[in-house]
Structure 1
């Protein structure tokens, strides 16, 4: 028992020691004092401290009692506060639950409101759709279709019919009640619209009326036809057929009358069959007046072979104003065929384009359907135009006019493409074929007239001198006209026109060859050919025409004639030198230099003769050439060619006598220097 008490005391001491200040304990141990003394000392101090504490408590008893009371009061206050907070917390939890319930109720109410609004809107729209207002009924039944309110009421009726049709029958009793009313209104509206449209269409038939005004009125009320098309397609088809029949007859009458009046304005002096390139003018005189006639009276064919400003129909005048026949007749105006043709075809293209656009807009058809309707509407106009034009074309002998009309057909086709209007089915091809056939016939007539010329008649008229011939001038003017037309059309010469021009060139070339054989001398033959070829090239004188095959052919023929003429002119003056040069160069080129020895004796004669004659020869050549050619430019050009050839022969001769075979010949040194010859020739060089 005692042992257990001792262990417990020891454990107590150790526990106290753990809580004791380490420094105090360490100091006590190091001081060496006994534990018992320290224990007594500690106990004494504790006793004193207890006494002091008791004494202080007794002294402060009143204050401690007051503090105790205050602490109890605070505990009660805190308790009440805790109760209040717990109550508030409970109330807050209830409010959160209420808010959640309110939120759910709000969403439900909002959804109900939306549903009710949707139902209300649909129901309201449904009621509006099936209700047939009295003002609409009154307007459709009593109002004139020309009034603005009628078309608005028609739109509303169209809308209601479509809506009820989309809803189907039997959905509501009210719908079944409304359908008969709408059907009656529909039939009444269709009846009034049909009468109104037919009345407008019949107005097209009035003489001298501007049908485009009525078409504009139709387009403003296009919904009339759309309403009929949607609700009564059979009546819409009837209206369409009536329009096609009316407009077809109208165009037929218009173009027939316009073409008839237009072609009466053709120039009285138009080309005839006798106005061919090879026509020989003869005097038209009879009786006593024929003996005293100074000159035969011949027809002026300037407008037949020369183009003048006629190519303006392809350029500035292409889209010019149409010819008004009665106004032109009052002013005594007359026109070339191509001008009348342009006005007629432009009128056709304008009406054709306008009609296609109207049909597309008014009848609400696709491209294929529009083409079908348009073809029916314009069929009679196309046939009458082809007939009227063909009647005029087959009697037309003006090749320039026919060529211009062919180009006009191309330009009108291009104009339709630019306007995005489909081409007339076969119209332009047929018209072009008619024109090409006639153009080929007229050009063949020109060529045949040239080939069949009787040279004896020309000789009797004194028309076979070396000057340019009037038939060649006709040919040149006509060829130039065709080249100018091709240029004005903005295209190259096609194979057809090219073949005809080459045939004409061949005919005139044969004629010139025949006529040249009737010249008085060989020299005049070449002069005649040169003058006539130069005339042709002079007339065909612009940058684009110079690129043509015809110009190249004629230029080659002229150069050949000039080369032959040069040799003919030089022969009387230096023929001996030319012969010597030709023979010796042939031997040298063939390598027979040993045969040149025999020409040693001739060199002296050639040089002596040349030195004596060369100046006189140059003067004589100049005088002769300038007198032979009336064209100063041509004469000077040929003169320079002759002098160039003259110098070339001298240079070739000088090269030959410099050969080693003739090195010992003393006469070679007497040859005149070529530079002296060139200085003399420069005196005749034109200054311009």
Structure 2
């Protein structure tokens, strides 16, 4: 039993270095960390025993062979046995513990069974431990005694005791040093493990990098090949491809600027695809795209048709402003009709015809209402006595009746007066229906004629401009024919209004003013480059000029009728004061005043007329009849000198009126230069018609 206890703690003396001092038995009973075992401080001493004890402490083949001897201690200062995680094993080649104890107590044993360790001879040093007297006690009893017996020491034991005592004093330092060395060894071992792992991982990463480099090289080659292919196939694919955004916009998008841009894109791609399909260089991808393109094209045509039909239908709404629909909803999207005209000409023609029918109804209804409003404008009534040779009493009576019909309006059919303001006024706006209905003053026939034609010219110009802008695929003749179809009934309404105004009138000045207004409308249409109303203007002229000649002939016939009457009653009717005053007076006749005023008005209105007009011929006939009448009236005088004075006074009055009219007509010509459209030739034949007669007198 005693030998088993000692054998678990003791270390053979043969493993010690002979140069070290011997230790006492009290030193052998210390803690395992201080003993001579594998984990003690003597484990690091040189010799064969230290090398053999460090061999089984390697944990793995990857551990460094240069690490410190001993096993890795556990944390917090645990022993070697606890840090290793298992039971510590005794070295295979060690001395017998019994022999070691016998050597300590001084009992010699035969050395026949002592093994040879590493070819070295192990002997017990004599000076290691002195002989101890146990007094017949066991070793455990001897250790537990309070007063151990004195130990006999040799002279050299004092030195060993001092060395042991010094070692005991610095044991903690050695233990701390051992612990630090062991910790460093553990850290070095862990660093070694980390470095080994890092080396392994670095090798794996290097292999992966090589793989990635190889893969990158392959991808670069593929990318370069793709770029080469894209450089060759990109333009061809771009020409036959349509973006999904454009297709979605055409199919379901709102009708706005983006829709028009998408339509133009599809139109351009369609033209390119059709060109390639018809050429010999077409490829199979075009045949795959064409059905899809046809579907998109059909959808675009359907949406354009619905949009245009809805806008045309909106024109028929009551109180609608056509100009807003035309400018903001149709002209703004004029590319729609262009595409429809190219993609589906039949449908484009049907929509054009629907627009023509709608606008014809629109203008016809509006001009009909406008004419009804102009009918409410009060016009001076016509009288058969409003001719030069009309009876003065009848004329006064008719004036009285006229004043009764026209209220306080004073009207002289032979005086131009302020009626010329209709031509001189630079205002080109027509009278609105509301103002026409509310106007209670009297006007000449030129007022309703002017307002209707100004409104007609403005609407015709606006409509022709819209047609030219919205229907650009059509030719000039097609657009002109469309405008003519739209305004055909409106032209008829204007012709009927003109006929109604002039068919029963004897107002020659009013008819001539209508002629000038019609000429002004023609010149304005030429300036605006609207040729579709030429037939209407010519038709109005064909109504006005014959009526003007008829009225001038009525004036001449009235003078002839007055001059053909003989007897006292006729002469009395032509006198100023009645009775026989004509024989005793040389004052101008009242017919001379009428004739001069009529001549004045005609000359003013003809200041810018050409020589090819029938005005000069009508004036020549009328002058002839008036000369004949004055000659007949002058023969009624008793004295030749009185007759000459009578003729001189009448012709002087006419020249005075004409001279005033010529000066005014010159001013009017200056004003007319500011308004476009009138010719700049001035006819002087009518102005000098009576100059020769005065000179002859």
**TM norm structure 1:** 0.58
CA–CA distance in 1 between the matches of 2:224 and 2:541? Answer: 74
Measured at CA, do residues 520 and 207 of structure 1 come closer, stay the same or move farther in structure 2, by a change above 3 Å? farther
How many residues align structurally? 433
**1:271 and 1:304 in contact (8 A); partners too:** no
CA–CA distance in 1 between the matches of 2:396 and 2:385? Answer: 18
Measured at CA, do residues 525 and 122 of structure 1 come closer, stay the same or move farther in structure 2, by a change above 3 Å? farther
Measured at CA, do residues 553 and 397 of structure 1 come closer, stay the same or move farther in structure 2, by a change above 3 Å? closer
Report matched runs for 1:272-671 at 5 Å.
272-282=383-393, 302-317=411-426, 319-364=427-472, 365-453=474-562, 454-459=570-575, 461-462=578-579, 464=582, 465-487=585-607, 490-542=608-660, 543=662, 548-561=684-697
**1:252 and 1:380 in contact (8 A); partners too:** yes
* Structure 2: 5+ residue stretches without partners: 1-222, 398-406, 563-569, 667-682
Q: 2:333 — aligned with what?
A: 221
CA–CA distance in 2 between the matches of 1:239 and 1:153? Answer: 22
Q: 1:152 — aligned with what?
A: 261
CA–CA distance in 2 between the matches of 1:531 and 1:367? Answer: 62
* Structure 1: 5+ residue stretches without partners: 1-112, 287-297, 562-688
CA–CA distance in 2 between the matches of 1:472 and 1:501? Answer: 15
Moved more, 173-182 or 194-203: 173-182
CA–CA distance in 2 between the matches of 1:299 and 1:517? Answer: 41
CA drift of 1:166 comes to 1.3
Q: Secondary structure at the match of 1:540?
A: helix
Which string of whole-angstrom CA distances, capped at 9 and with x for unpartnered residues, describes residues 58-85 of structure 1? xxxxxxxxxxxxxxxxxxxxxxxxxxxx
Which string of whole-angstrom CA distances, capped at 9 and with x for unpartnered residues, describes residues 1-31 of structure 1? xxxxxxxxxxxxxxxxxxxxxxxxxxxxxxx
* Among 339, 343, 346, the residue aligned to 1:234: 346
Measured at CA, do residues 557 and 153 of structure 1 come closer, stay the same or move farther in structure 2, by a change above 3 Å? same
Q: Secondary structure at the match of 1:191?
A: helix
Larger radius of gyration: 2
Higher helix share: 1
Which string of whole-angstrom CA distances, capped at 9 and with x for unpartnered residues, describes residues 260-309 of structure 1? 32243142x344222111111327999xxxxxxxxxxx999753111123
CA drift of 1:534 comes to 0.9
CA drift of 1:527 comes to 1.9
CA–CA distance in 2 between the matches of 1:115 and 1:421? Answer: 63
CA–CA distance in 1 between the matches of 2:396 and 2:486? Answer: 56
CA–CA distance in 1 between the matches of 2:292 and 2:546? Answer: 67
Report matched runs for 1:196-207 at 5 Å.
196-207=307-318
Measured at CA, do residues 122 and 407 of structure 1 come closer, stay the same or move farther in structure 2, by a change above 3 Å? farther
**1:137 and 1:185 in contact (8 A); partners too:** yes
Measured at CA, do residues 493 and 172 of structure 1 come closer, stay the same or move farther in structure 2, by a change above 3 Å? closer
CA drift of 1:157 comes to 2.0
Which string of whole-angstrom CA distances, capped at 9 and with x for unpartnered residues, describes residues 504-551 of structure 1? 111111111122222343332222211111111110014577983344
CA drift of 1:220 comes to 0.2
**TM norm structure 2:** 0.58
Q: 1:3 — aligned with what?
A: none
CA drift of 1:194 comes to 0.7
